[in-house]
Chains A and B, each alone.
Chain A
């Protein structure tokens, strides 16, 4: 029996953004507080899974036309790229750099290349989770 569930759909539209923003917060806070790429990626994937539960696979694919295979590949490339960056400068593999920058709105900010590695982890986690869930959920 096909049922329309307005309450679930409306709640999802609000809750999706709360979960997504919280996952971004956890991803960015990973250096000085609990969190990081893995938890942030899982939270983003769970927000996407909430969309998948409320709407069907096709609608979500139209809403977010992301190829998760490519996302995983980009994440692995980012991780490998930051790791091998220092090798090009003649230093040890996986050497990280950081410095303080004056960003107009945020003021003095410490930027670290470990964050780019974490972004790679984030992409891989989101991509792999979504590939697993979509390939289990799909009929074809």
Chain B
């Protein structure tokens, strides 16, 4: 039983660290803001959630401390992480940052132009 729990802890913390490294590589390697926001908001949120789950299980199983604050933190990150990425990408689009030159589809442009025409 103890070995199973320890494996679970190690697995979730290692997986979380792996996802955060993937995020860092994505932030360096990706060509423009939108793909970088995609890397940062998805895998970083999942990585931190995995690390928090590992910490929660560790403190529960090894130290006997049930810490609901970690669960609340997981829920909070799950809600706010992607929304933060959405807001940053949106702010970048509306302040005129062009997508990568290989982009073939830009659905937001029509709506953006329509809103701009309405204003004039």
The residues of A with any CB-CB pair to B shorter than 8 Å are: 1, 3, 5, 7-8, 11, 14-15, 18, 22
Interface size of B by CB at 8 A reads 14
B21 in the interface (beta carbon within 8 A): no
Which residues of B, 42-96, contact A by the 8 Å Cβ criterion? Answer: 69, 72, 75-76, 79-80, 83, 86-87, 90, 94
- Chain A residue nearest to B112 in the complex (CB): A1
B83 touches A7 (CB 8 A): yes
- Chain B residue nearest to A18 in the complex (CB): B76
A22 touches B83 (CB 8 A): no
Closest beta carbon of chain A to B49's beta carbon, Å: 16
The interface residues of chain B, by DSSP majority, are classed as: helix
Q: Which residues of A contact B115 (CB under 8 A)?
A: 1, 3
- Chain B residue nearest to A12 in the complex (CB): B83
Q: Evaluate whether A15 and B87 lie within 8 angstroms (CB atoms) in the complex, with A1-B116, A1-B119 already known.
A: no
A-B CB proximity, top 4 nearest: A11-B83, A18-B76, A7-B86, A1-B115
Closest beta carbon of chain A to B118's beta carbon, Å: 9
Q: Which residues of B contact A7 (CB under 8 A)?
A: 83, 86
Q: Which residues of B contact A5 (CB under 8 A)?
A: 87, 90
Q: Which residues of B contact A18 (CB under 8 A)?
A: 72, 75-76, 79
Among candidates B75, B76, B83, B119, residue contacting A8 with C-beta atoms closer than 8 Å:
B83
* Distance A18 CA – B94 CA, assembled complex (angstroms): 30
**Given contacts A8-B87, A11-B80, A18-B79, could you give 14 more A-B pairs where the C-beta distance is less than 8 Å?**
A1-B115, A1-B116, A1-B119, A3-B94, A5-B87, A7-B86, A8-B83, A14-B79, A15-B76, A15-B79, A15-B80, A18-B75, A18-B76, A22-B69
